[in-house]
C-alpha cells in the first residue's frame, strides 16, 4: 500500500464510519493477530526492558536524559535509513553517543540538564536533515518518530532480542550496587563502590534501552515506556522487589495493549501506548494519594531499645 | 604559617585514653606527620594521631578546616599530601567492610524509592554485584539492626517520609550492618533537635562501649557529645590540638590555635566558645574539603 492510498482510505473511512471506527477497528482481527506475533514478542521484551530500566531513571532523576538520548537515537536511525543500513544499529550508535556524552559531561544534575539541552536540538536537527535527504517511503520516516508495529520483521527481532539480553544481563549484574549508588551515593562511595563508573555504566545501558524502545514507540514517545510505568509504580510502593515488578507489569500492559488496540486501525501505535501508560499512571496516583492520606501510625519518637543510655 | 602544636607531653597522641584499658591494644587508625593541603592552603599538617578501639574522638573546628577531609583520608578516598597513615594495620583501602560511615544529616530526596529497611540492607550487601542469593539471612540481620536502633516501628516507611532524627537512626543501623571496627560520623547531628541529637549520640556511644568500635565524630558543636568524648581533635588555621576536652577546650589552647584571643566559657556544664573567627575563607578546588555543599 502506498502512503497515498493509505491516507485516501483513511479519508473514506472517516466519511463512512466516523472517527471512532478509524481509531478502533477490529475487523478481521484474528487474521491480523497472526501477522503480528513478532511485534507482540518485541512488545513484551520492551515492557521488561523499559520497566526495569525505568526504575533507575526515576531513582536517578534522569527523565530529561532519556528524552535527550532518544533524539540522538532518532538521528542515528535517520542516518541509517538514508545510508540504507540497519536502522536498529543506527539508532543504537546514536543512543550510545548521546548517553556517553551526557554521562561524561554532566556529572552534576545542573550540568547534565544543560548538556542534554544542548545535545537534544542538535540531534533532532541532524535527524530532520537526514530524513529530508531520504527519498524512500514516507511511512519509514514517520515510523522512526512515532513508532511502528507491523514493521518488526525477523532480522529486526533478533537484534531486539540480542540487545535486550545484553541490557537485562547488565541490569541484573549491577542492580544492587546501582541501587546503592543511586539512592545513597555518599555512603556507597565510602563503602568503595565506583559511583562514577556505575553512573557511566548505567548511561550506556540506558542508551541501549532507549534505542530498543525507539524501534517500537518512536523517538518522541520513549518516555511513555521508560519513565511513566516506573513513576506509576513508585506511587504505590517503595519495596525494592514490588516496585520493579509493578513497573514491568505496567510497561508490559501499555505496550501489548497498545499493539492489540492499534492493530486494526490506520493510526500509528504510539498514541495507544502513551494513553494506556498515562491512564495507568493516573490510576496509581489516585490510589497512592488516597493511601498517603491515611497517615502512618505515629512512631514513638523517644523509644529506644534497652541498654541505650541517653546522656542528659 | 603559624601553627599551634600540642605543647605538653601530656597531650601526646601516643597515650591511649582510659577506655582502651587493654594496654596491648593496637590503634585502629594511625597517622604520623600527616598533612593535607589544597595548593597553598594547608588544612592540617604534622598530624600524629592514634585512634584506639572503643575510643570516642570528636573532631572539631571551623568550616573549611579539613574535618570532612580527614574522614575522606581515613576512608581511602583521598591521599594525604604528606605523612604516613595506616587504618586497621594497612594503608587505607577503599571500601573496607570494617569501616562504618554515617553521613551528614540531610534529607534523602523524595524520589528515593526505598524503605528504612532497604537502606539498612544496602549497608549490608549493597556493594555486592549480581542479585541477592540469601534473602532470609539478610532480612533477619536487617530486622536485628533496626531493632537495635529502635527503628522497628517505621521499618517499612519510605525513607523520604521519615523525620531527620528517624533517618539518622536508620543511618546508624546501616553503618553498623557490617559490624565495623571504626565508625566515622560526619556531622550526624546537623539540624537535629536536642532530643534526636541525644538519641543519635547515645546509640553511637553504646556501640563503642559494647563492641569496642572506635568512633571518629566530626561535629561543629561539642556540647551534644561533651559527656561522651575521650579526646578532641581541634583543627583550625592549619594547626591542630589533640587531647581530652578539658585540655583542648580552654581559653589559652584555642587562643593559641586561632592566633587571636578566644574565650572559652563553661556555663552549666556546657562549653561556649566566644570570639572564634568564623570560617576561614574557603576556595574549594574540585572535590574540595567538604565535598558537597552545606545546607
Q: What is the pLDDT of residues A249-284, one digit of tens each?
A: 999 999 999 888 887 777 778 888 899 999 999 999
Q: Do B205 and A309 touch (CB under 8 A)?
A: yes
Query: Average pLDDT for residues B276-280, to the nearest whole number?
Result: 66
Q: Do B129 and A304 touch (CB under 8 A)?
A: no
Q: Pairing mode, if any, of strands B214-218 and B56-60?
A: parallel
Least confidently predicted of A202-216, B2-16, B51-65, B183-197: B2-16
User: How far is B38 from B220, CA to CA, in rounded Å?
Assistant: 21
SS3 assignment, position B98 = coil
Q: What pLDDT is attached to residue B11?
A: 37
Is residue B214 within 8 Å of B51, Cβ to Cβ?
Answer: yes
A·B CB contacts under 8 A:
138
Residue B51 has pLDDT above 60, yes or no: yes
Which chain B residue has the Cα nearest residue A169? B130
Domain borders along chain A are 5-18+26-292
**For an interface test with B, which of A61, A184, A294, A296 has the most B Cβ atoms less than 10 Å from its Cβ?**
A184
Does the pLDDT at position B130 exceed 90?
A: no
Q: Which fold is adopted by the domain A5-18+26-292?
A: ABC transporter involved in vitamin B12 uptake, BtuC (1.10.3470)
> What pLDDT, on the 0 to 100 scale, is given for residue B210?
93
Q: Do B201 and A311 touch (CB under 8 A)?
A: yes
The whole-number pLDDT of residue B294 equals 38
Band the pLDDT of B109: cuts 50, 70, 90: confident
Asked if B119 lies within 8 A of A183 by C-beta distance, the reply is yes
Model pLDDT, residue A309: 53
Long-range contacts of B257-262 (CB under 8 A, 24+ apart): B257/B4, B259/B2, B259/B4
Task: Give Cβ neighbours of residue A30 (< 8 Å, ≥ 6 apart).
Answer: none
Q: Which of A126-130, B49-53, B190-194 has the lowest mean pLDDT?
A: B190-194
Which member of B93, B104, B113 has the closest CB to residue A59? B113
pLDDT, position B216: 96
Q: What pLDDT sits at residue B235? A: 92
Listed by number, the residues of chain A in 46-105 with a beta carbon closer than 8 Å to a beta carbon of chain B are 55, 58-59, 61
Whether A190 sits inside 8 A of B103 (CB atoms) is yes
The C-alpha cell of B174 is what?
546501616
What are the backbone angles phi and psi of residue A206, rounded to the nearest 5°?
Answer: -65, -40
Residue B76 and residue A191: Cβ atoms within 8 Å?
no
Residue B85: strand pairing partners = B31
At B42, give phi and psi (nearest 5°): -90, 120
> How far is B117 from B125, CA to CA, in rounded Å?
12
**For B131, which of A172, A187, A188 is closest by C-beta distance?**
A172
Option in B157, B202, B210 nearest A311 (CB)? B202
DSSP string, chain A: --HHHHHHHHHHHHHHHHHHHHHS--TTHHHHHHHTHHHHHHHHHHHHHHHHHHHHHHHTT-HHHHHHHHHHHHHHHHHHHHHTS-HHHHHHHHHHHHHHHHHHH--SHHHHHHHHHHHHHHHHHHHHHHHHH--S-HHHHHHHHH--STT--HHHHHHHHHHHHHHHHHHHHHHHHHHHHHH-HHHHHHTT--HHHHHHHHHHHHHHHHHHHHHHH-GGGTHHHHTHHHHHHHHH---TTHHHHHHHHHHHHHHHHHHHHHTTSSS-SHHHHHHHHHHHHHHHHHHHHHHHHSPPPPP-TT---TTPPPP-
**CA atoms of B246 and A290, how far apart (whole Å):** 56
Give chain A positions within 8 Å (CB) of B150: 303-305, 308
Q: Across the interface, do A184 and B94 touch by the CB < 8 Å criterion?
A: no
Q: Do A174 and B202 touch (CB under 8 A)?
A: no
CA atoms within a 13 Å half-sphere pointing along the CA-CB vector of B67: 29
Task: Note the pLDDT of residue B23.
Answer: 53
**CB burial of residue A54 (10 Å; 0-12, 13-18, 19+):** buried
Judging contacts by C-beta atoms under 8 Å, the chain B residues touching residue A59 are 111-113
Measured between CB atoms, does A119 come within 8 Å of chain B?
Answer: no
* Lowest-confidence pick of A225-229, B92-96, B112-116, B142-146: B92-96
- Tell me whether residues B113 and A243 touch, CB distance under 8 A: yes
Q: Tell me the nearest-neighbour CA distance from A171 into chain B, angstroms.
A: 9
Contact B112 A59 (CB under 8 A): yes
Nearest Cα of chain B lies from the Cα of A31 at a distance, in angstroms, of 42
pLDDT, averaged across chain B: 83
Query: How close B6 gets to chain A, by Cα (Å)?
Result: 29
Q: Which positions in chain A touch B202 (Cβ < 8 Å)?
A: 304, 308-311
Residues A174, B166: C-beta atoms closer than 8 Å: no
What pLDDT does A4 receive?
Answer: 41
B128 with A177: Cβ contact below 8 A: yes
- What is the chain B residue with the closest CA to A235? B113
pLDDT value at position B4? 43
Q: Do A179 and B174 touch (CB under 8 A)?
A: no
Mean pLDDT of B200-206: 92
Could you count the other beta carbons within 10 Å of the beta carbon of residue B201? Answer: 26
Question: What are the distances in angstroms from CA A203 to CA A55, A60, A70, A106?
Answer: 13, 11, 12, 11
Q: Is the pLDDT of residue A15 over 60?
A: no
* CB-closest option in B127, B132, B227 to A191: B127
With an 8 Å Cβ cutoff, are B95 and A190 in contact? yes
Q: What is the pLDDT of residue B7?
A: 40
Distance from CA of B51 to the nearest CA of A (A): 19
Q: Measure the CA–CA gap between A291 and A236, rounded to whole angstroms.
A: 8
Higher pLDDT, A249 or B281: A249
- Neighboring chain A residues of B294 at a CB cutoff of 8 Å: none
ipTM attached to this prediction: 0.81
Report whether pLDDT(B165) > 50.
yes
List Cα–Cα distances, B236 to A136, B2, B64, B282, in angstroms: 72, 11, 9, 13
B163 contacts: CB under 8 Å, gap ≥ 6: B196
Work out the minimum CA distance from B32 to partner chain A, whole angstroms. Answer: 23
Amino acid at each position: 500500500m502506498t502512503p497515498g492510498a493509505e491516507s485516501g482510505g483513511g479519508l473514506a473511512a472517516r466519511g463512512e464510519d466516523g472517527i471512532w471506527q478509524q481509531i478502533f477497528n477490529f475487523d478481521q482481527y484474528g487474521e491480523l493477530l497472526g501477522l503480528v506475533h513478532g511485534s507482540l514478542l518485541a512488545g513484551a521484551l520492551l515492557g521488561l526492558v523499559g520497566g526495569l530500566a525505568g526504575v533507575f531513571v526515576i531513582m536517578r532523576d534522569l527523565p530529561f536524559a532519556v528524552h535527550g538520548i532518544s533524539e540522538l537515537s532518532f538521528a542515528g536511525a535517520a542516518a541509517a535509513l538514508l545510508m540504507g543500513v540497519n536502522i536498529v544499529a543506527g539508532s543504537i550508535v546514536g543512543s550510545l553517543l548521546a548517553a556517553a556524552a551526557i554521562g561524561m559531561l554532566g556529572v552534576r544534575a545542573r550540568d547534565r540538564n544543560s548538556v542534554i539541552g544542548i545535545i537534544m536540538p542538535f540531534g533532532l536537527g541532524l535527524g530532520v536533515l537526514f530524513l529530508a535527504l531520504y527519498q524512500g517511503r514516507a511511512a519509514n520516516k514517520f515510523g522512526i518518530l512515532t513508532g511502528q508495529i507491523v514493521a518488526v520483521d525477523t532480522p529486526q527481532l533478533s537484534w531486539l532480542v540480542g540487545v535486550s539480553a545484553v541490557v537485562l544481563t547488565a541490569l541484573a549484574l549491577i542492580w544492587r550496587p546501582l541501587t546503592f549508588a543511586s539512592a545513597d551515593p555518599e555512603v556507597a562511595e565510602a563503602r568503595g563502590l565506583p559511583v562514577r563508573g556505575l553512573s557511566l555504566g548505567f548511561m550506556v545501558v540506558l542508551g541501549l534501552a532507549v534505542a530498543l524502545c525507539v524501534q517500537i514507540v518512536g523517538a518522541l514517545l520513549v518516555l511513555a515506556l521508560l519513565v511513566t510505568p516506573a513513576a506509576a509504580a513508585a506511587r504505590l510502593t517503595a519495596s525494592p522487589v514490588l516496585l520493579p515488578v509493578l513497573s514491568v507489569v505496567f510497561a508490559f500492559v501499555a505496550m501489548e495493549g497498545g499493539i492489540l488496540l492499534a492493530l486494526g486501525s490506520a493510526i500509528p501505535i504510539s498514541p495507544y501506548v502513551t494513553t494506556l501508560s498515562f491512564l495507568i499512571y493516573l490510576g496509581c496516583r489516585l490510589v497512592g494519594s488516597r493511601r498517603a492520606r491515611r497517615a502512618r501510625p505515629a512512631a514513638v519518637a523517644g523509644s529506644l531499645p534497652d541498654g541505650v543510655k541517653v546522656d542528659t | 604559617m603559624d601553627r599551634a602544636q600540642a605543647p605538653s607531653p601530656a597531650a601526646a597522641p601516643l597515650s591511649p585514653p582510659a577506655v582502651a584499658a587493654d594496654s596491648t591494644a593496637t590503634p585502629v587508625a594511625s597517622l604520623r606527620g600527616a598533612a593535607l593541603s589544597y595548593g597553598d592552603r594547608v588544612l592540617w599538617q604534622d598530624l600524629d594521631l592514634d585512634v584506639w578501639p572503643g575510643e570516642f574522638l570528636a573532631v572539631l573546628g571551623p568550616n573549611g578546616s579539613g574535618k570532612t577531609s580527614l574522614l575522606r583520608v581515613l576512608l581511602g578516598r583521598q591521599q594525604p599530601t604528606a605523612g604516613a597513615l595506616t587504618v586497621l594495620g594497612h594503608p587505607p583501602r577503599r571500601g573496607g567492610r570494617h569501616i562504618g560511615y554515617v553521613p551528614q544529616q540531610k534529607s534523602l530526596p523524595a524520589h528515593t524509592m526505598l524503605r528504612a529497611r532497604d537502606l539498612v540492607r544496602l549497608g549490608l550487601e549493597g556493594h555486592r554485584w549480581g542479585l541477592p542469593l540469601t534473602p532470609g539471612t539478610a532480612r533477619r540481620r536487617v530486622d536485628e539492626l533496626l531493632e537495635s536502633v529502635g527503628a522497628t516501628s517505621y521499618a517499612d516507611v519510605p525513607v523520604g517520609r521519615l523525620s531527620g532524627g528517624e533517618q539518622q537512626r536508620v543511618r546508624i543501623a546501616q553503618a553498623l550492618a557490617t559490624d565495623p571496627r571504626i565508625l566515622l560520623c560526619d556531622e550526624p547531628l546537623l539540624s537535629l533537635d536536642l532530643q534526636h541529637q541525644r538519641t543519635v549520640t547515645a546509640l553511637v556511644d553504646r556501640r563503642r562501649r559494647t563492641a569496642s568500635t572506635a568512633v571518629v565524630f566530626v561535629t561543629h558543636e561539642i556540647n551534644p557529645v561533651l559527656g561522651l568524648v575521650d579526646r578532641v581533635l581541634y583543627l583550625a588555621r592549619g594547626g591542630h590540638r589533640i587531647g581530652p576536652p578539658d585540655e583542648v577546650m580552654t581559653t589559652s589552647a584555642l587562643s593559641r590555635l586561632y592566633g587571636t584571643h578566644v574565650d572559652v566559657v563553661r556555663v552549666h556544664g556546657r562549653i561556649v566558645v566566644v570570639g572564634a573567627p568564623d570560617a576561614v575563607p574557603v576556595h574549594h578546588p574540585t572535590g574540595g574539603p567538604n565535598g558537597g555543599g552545606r545546607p
